[in-house]
Structures are given as structure tokens and as C-alpha cells.
Amino acid sequence: MTKATPDDTPRAQSSQPAMDQPKLMSSTLLMASGTLVSRFLGAVRVLLAGYLFISQSVQADIFSIGTAIPNQMYLLFAGGILNAILVPQLMKSMRHDADGGQGFSDRIVTLFGLIILSLTILLIIFHRYVVALVTSSSWRDPARAVHYQSLTTLTLLVLPQVFFFGAFFLGGQILNSRGSFGPMMWAPAINNVIQVAMLATYAVIWGFHTDTQQAFTSAQIVLLGVGSLIGIIAQAAILIPFLKKVGFRYRPRFDFLHTGLGATARVATWAIAMVLATQVNYIIVTRMAGGATHGGSGAGSYILGASMLIFFLPHSLLTVSLATALLPTLSHLAAGEQWENFMNQLQSSLRIIYAAIIPLAFLILVVGLPVGVAGWGIERGGAYIGWTLVVFSLGLIPLTLQHLMDRVFFSMSNTRTPFFIEVLFVSITSGIAILGVVVFSVPSVWVAPCIAGGYVLGYVGAAFLGWRLFKRAIPFEKKFFLTGHMMRLVAISIPSALAAGLVVWGTIKPVIAASFHPELASELPIPGQGMALIGSVSALIVGCGVYLVLAKLFKISEITELMDLVRRKLRKEPTGGV
């Protein structure tokens, strides 16, 4: 790291001061609101798909696997190469370059645009090999030839999404580096509206009672594929007016040599390696999950994806929103070697996010089964979605630390350390998936919960390693006061979860019995979806209410400040720095 010169320091301090806690929380709340709307619409989309295709059916897995490949690239760009490189590098160029980083931004957009376009073309050309890579050999059984062809054709139609996902993230990271966080979080809502409209059109034309064990027809594949593509095009295009609003005017630049991109390329090397490691995990997990429906029914790719959608909701709303708002500030402080401010900002952020994440982890553990039944019903695999969600809930706390540790290293333009953390995560996650599915041959209905367990153990290992490496990497000694804070949060989260559990015990008990003895399901007093929904909502309200009361008694200041901020936002009052 290059130490700031005396001439650099005043400019750095004036260009972007460290974000104070109210401003950080306000930016987080703004992004969380957009994410909430988008995730709600995404949940509607997944629920509608589950009703159309039946969550445990072959069609559900064809739709899930086929549309997941460009979505996986979306996640890779979000969590890997673009996030790792763009914001820290853009912050440095804005600080040091005479043009405020405009030339650097133009070159980055041109270079990455060419890379993403080339990648998209290659994926389209070799789409059959891509499908073969992410599916188990059971899909290529001659008896399933029409199903495999359906999956291959759908994948071909959706692969152009990769380019538009990349364009979306390029634009979004430029907006983030210039302090505009809201558009990137709200734009996916437009995509989800189009996706819901696409599935609603499918329902109008073909209805809810088709044979979901058959392959899709050509007309069905065209509707699903083209509808998915239109959605991401709209998601990317909506950022254009916001880019103009922050003063970004793109002009293609092909003069890549001797312009400072060499340092970016060195950072990119490890980021690309991290992307490849993540891709290995995706391939292994998809192959393991995709084989669950080979016998006609099982907890496979769709159930795993639906459970992940719910599990990642609090993570996306809170942790990702806070980390996105925090990354430019940490990048600025790291560039100026202001390590004391860096550590203070990080500790404050960890205390804020865990005050919300820890109770939510306990609540999901309790209401996971009722939520699965409320959303999908017993007959559509709701119990196994619930079980997968229950297992995932155990990983929410370590996932938060892992995510923030990755962003801390990214802010220091260090992508090497996150790569090794990711290797450990992939080794544990994929290793557990292989052990469970291949070695121990878990029943098909328990494949998704087994894979979820691998993710949880992977989060724990990655979080532990990340924290240890972080404390060794920072050239500033500071004692973190987190253990006592987290123990207090756990102490008040347990009674909150128990109170919620009492509300839904009438749903949980028969669902557990039906899960292990499905032949008795018709004889058990399992509530319908409506009652399960009422119970789940009531349990969450009771649990959150008990937690807020206990937080006030235990004087958890972060919760009090967050609630005050929400009230001020609702009343449109100033937030002191936003």
C-alpha cells in the first residue's frame, strides 16, 4: 500500500469523510427498502413458479437449473470480480486523477464490457457443455432425453442475460463509488415485476394443472426464456438516467496500456481465481441437488433455491446493504492509511448489523417449518423447504461476518486473502454435499437440507479464518468489544425465539411427524396454508416485540438508534448527515 503524501491527505479528507453512524444507517435503510421490495416480488415469482411446476417435480428443476446459470454469473460478479475491484479502484482514481477518475471509469467500463461480452458469446456457443457440466449423469439417461433437451434449450435462451447482468453491475458500482446507493438496490424490482408477469402469462395460457413430470413444450420454453431476458434488460437499462444524474458520461476508451490498469489487473488475478473457486462450488452443488428429482420427486434444485431466497432475505436487506454503503468509506480510509478511523467504523458497523441479524437467525430457526408450509403447502414440498430453511438459519450469523470480512479486504485492494477464504468455504460446502449425496446416499427428500448443512459449516469455517487473517493484516492494534455485545444479543434472542415458537407449536409438531412419516400425513392435524401464514406472521410479531422490549431493558443502543431512524424516515425528518 502506498502511503498518502502530504498533498494527497487534505484532498482525501475532504473528498469523502468517514461516514458517521446515522448516515451509514440511513444509507443502509435506503438500500434495504429497495431490497425488501425486490425480494418480496422475487418471493412472489418463486411461489408462482412452485405452484405452476410443483416444487418437487422435474419441471421445477428444469426451470431452476436453466435460469440459474446467468443468475449465478450475476452472483459471481456481485460478490467477486466487480465488487472486489471497481469500488476501491474507482475511489483511488477519483482521489488521485486530475479528471476525478472519469478517464479511468471509461476504460474500466470499456474493458469489462468487452470481457463480459466475450464471456457471454462463449457461453452461448458452448451452452451444451455448460449444461452437461452443471448436471449429474442421471439427466443424460436416455429415458430423460426430452427433459434434458428442454433444459438445454431453456439455458440457451437465457444465457444472453449474462451480458446484461454484467452491464448492470458495472453501472451499479459506478453509482456506489459516487455515493448513489439506492438505484442498484431498487432496479431488480423491475426485473421481478416482469418475471411475475411472465409466469402469470404462463398460468393464463397453460393453467396450474399441467403434467409437471413432462418436459416443457417449445412455446413454454420460448415464453420462459424470452421473458427472463427482457427482465434483466430492463433492470440494466433503468440505471442509465441515474448515471447521468451523478455526472457520469461514458466515452469508449481503448487506450488501456500505461494508464494504471496494470494495478487493477493484478488485483483482478486473485478475484478471477476466487470466481473460479465459487464456480466449482456451484457446479458441484447443482449436480448434487439436480439428481434429487431423478425418481420423479425429491428436494432438489428448486427447493434449495427457494429456501436460499428466504434465508438470504435478512442478509440482503441488512448485511449487504450495510456493506455496500460501507465499502466506499472503508476504501477511502484504507487508501489514506487512516487505520484508527477504519477500525472504529468497522466495529460500529458490526455492532449495528449483529443487533438485527442475531435475533433474526433465532426467529428463522423457529418459524422455518411454518413458513415453508404457508408458502407451498405440504403437498408441494413445503415441509422440506421449511427444513432446509431451518438448517440455513444456523449459518446467518457466520455468513454476516464472512461477508463483511471479504469487503474489508476488498477495501484494501486485497483480493488474495478472500480467495483463500473462499477455497476453504468451497472445500467444506462441496465436500459435505458429496459426502451426503454420493457417499451416504441421503434420501432424495433430504438432499436440499443436507446441502444447506454444508453451507452452514462452510460459513463457520470461512468466518473464523477471515477474522483471524483480518486481525493479522491490519497494521493497527485495537481491541474489539464484540464478544460481550454478541452474548447480550444471544441472551435476549433466545426468549424471543421461544415466545415465537409457542405461537406456532401447533404447526411445527405435526409437520415434524409428517416429514419423517409421510404415510401418516393425511391423518395428522396439519394446518392449511392460510392458518400457517397467520401463525408465522403472528410468531414473527411476537418474537420481534419481545426482542425490542428486552433490547430496551438491556440498553442495546444500536436497536434504539435504528428504530429512531426508521421513525424519522417515515416522518420525512432529517437524519443528521443524509
Q: Would you say 45 and 195 are in contact if contact means Cβ atoms under 8 Å apart?
A: yes
Percentages (nearest 5) of helix, strand, coil residues in the chain? 80, 0, 20
The answer, yes or no, to whether residue 84 has pLDDT greater than 60, is: no
pLDDT interval class at 104 (50, 70, 90) = confident
Q: How many CB atoms lie within 10 A of CB 376?
A: 26
Q: Which range has the worst mean pLDDT, 219-223, 271-275, 568-572?
A: 568-572
Q: Which of 47-61, 92-106, 219-233, 366-380 has the lowest mean pLDDT?
A: 92-106
pLDDT at 279 over 60: yes
Q: Quick one: pLDDT at residue 527?
A: 81
Pick from 92-106, 129-143, 285-299, 511-525 the range whose average pLDDT is largest.
129-143
26-34: average pLDDT: 68
Written as nine digits, the cell of 106 is 471509461
DSSP classification of residue 18: P
Instruction: Label residue 196 by pLDDT band (50, 70, 90).
Output: very high
Which comes out higher in pLDDT, residue 541 or 562? 541
pLDDT level of residue 19 (50, 70, 90 thresholds) = low
- Cα 384 from Cα 376, distance rounded (Å): 10
pLDDT score recorded for residue 228: 93
Taking each helix axis as running N to C, give the angle between helix 21-53 and helix 58-79, from 0 to 180 degrees, rounded to the nearest 10: 160
Region 449-468 average pLDDT: 96
Give percent above pLDDT 70 in the chain. Answer: 82
* Average pLDDT estimate for 451-461: 97
| Mean pLDDT to the nearest integer, 36-48 | 84
CB atoms closer than 10 angstroms to residue 409: 23
Q: How confident is residue 295, by pLDDT bands cut at 50, 70 and 90?
A: low
Let me know: does 368 contact 449? Beta carbons within 8 Å: no
Task: Please say if the pLDDT value at position 12 is more than 50.
Answer: no
What pLDDT band is residue 88 in, cutting at 50, 70 and 90?
Answer: low
What pLDDT, on a 0 to 100 scale, did the predictor assign at position 100? 65
Contact 80, 274 (CB under 8 A): yes
- At residue 9, the pLDDT reads 35
**Position 577 confidence tier, pLDDT thresholds 50, 70, 90:** very low
How much of the chain, in percent, has pLDDT values that exceed 90? 35
Determine the average pLDDT of the residues in 88-109: 70
CA–CA separation, 124 vs 69, rounded Å?
A: 11
Distance from C-alpha of 39 to C-alpha of 145, rounded to nearest angstrom: 35
Q: What is the pLDDT of residues 396-410, one digit of tens each?
A: 999 999 999 988 888
For residues 259 and 475, the model is more confident at 475
In this predicted model, which residue has the larger pLDDT, 290 or 421? 421
pLDDT at 95 (0 to 100): 65
Residue 294's pLDDT band, with cuts at 50, 70 and 90, is confident
Q: Are 221 and 150 in contact (CB under 8 A)?
A: yes
Q: Tens digits of per-residue pLDDT, 499-511?
A: 999 999 988 888 8
Q: Which pLDDT score, from 0 to 100, does residue 576 have?
A: 39
Whether 473 has a pLDDT exceeding 70, the answer reads yes
Instruction: Show the cell assigned to 54.
Output: 410443483
Q: What is the mean pLDDT of the chain?
A: 82
